[in-house]
Amino acid sequence: MKKKGFTLLELLVVISIITIITGIVFINYRPAQQQLALNRAASKLAQDIRRAQEMAMSTRAFTSCSGGVQPSGYGLISDTNQPTAYYMFADCNNNQKWDFGVDSSAGKINLEKDITIEAHSGTPTYQFLSIIFTSPDPAVSICHHASSGSCTAQTSGWVRLRNTDGKTRTVTVNQVGQIEID
């Protein structure tokens, strides 16, 4: 009578194969997780730029503008001194550029853990990059700001995000409002 079953050698081979596969998956888990976080952050930034564009096109009222002023545009601002966040704002004085203390913040958006804004177009010369959409056209104003507040208009702008592994993704907006992720 022949007994059915596995030999000790067969069991050891199967366990070794499972251990090797598990080790390979575990080693690649952290870098893959960081790359996914970087991709999510770049997509979120592009989505928030589109949201500012939609808010401007809908001529949404914004209650935080002083004197009940209806803003003509909404935008995002990137600050090199705050690499873990960016801000959405309403252009309360309707001059198609960001003005500290005049325009009203619509919210701070924090990036995911281990993701930072490495640079934006205009760095290191300019501290801020603003992207503003105005209605009804929908026109886009891209401006590099010095710390003094002066604005240099641009035809396109970009923000480069970086993870702790050194991998980067760049979100670009051109003069007609098209948004690309590279």
Q: Kindly list the domain boundaries of the chain, sorted by start residue.
A: 9-181
User: Rounded to two decimals, what is the model's pTM?
Assistant: 0.80
Task: Tell me what pLDDT residue 36 has.
Answer: 92
pLDDT category of residue 46 using cuts at 50, 70 and 90: very high
DSSP state letters, 64-100: TSGGG---SEEEEEEETT-TTEEEEEE-TT-SSS--T
- Predicted confidence (pLDDT) at residue 146 exceeds the cutoff of 70: yes
Residue 17, CA atoms < 13 Å, CB-side half-sphere: 6
Which one, of 129, 130, 174, 137, lies nearest residue 56 by Cα?
A: 137
Which CATH code is given to the segment(s) 9-181? 3.55.40
**Residue 139: beta bridge partners?**
134
Model pLDDT for residues 16-32, shown as the tens digit of each residue: 999 999 888 877 777 78
pLDDT for 62 equals: 64
CA distances from 85 to 79, 116, 129, 173 (A): 8, 8, 13, 18
User: pLDDT (tens digit, 9 = 90+) per residue, 92-139?
Assistant: 888 877 777 778 787 899 999 999 999 998 888 888 899 999 877 668
Copy the structure tokens of residue 140. Answer: 């886009």
Tell which residue, 89, 93, 7, 19, has the closest CA to residue 56. 89
DSSP state, residue 3: P
Q: Which range (8-12, 62-66, 150-154) has the least confidence? A: 62-66
- For residue 39 the two structure tokens come to 């991709």
pLDDT tops 90 at residue 161: yes
The rounded distance, in Å, linking the Cα atoms of 171 and 159 is 5
In tens, the pLDDT along 58-90 reads 866 666 777 767 787 889 999 888 999 999 988
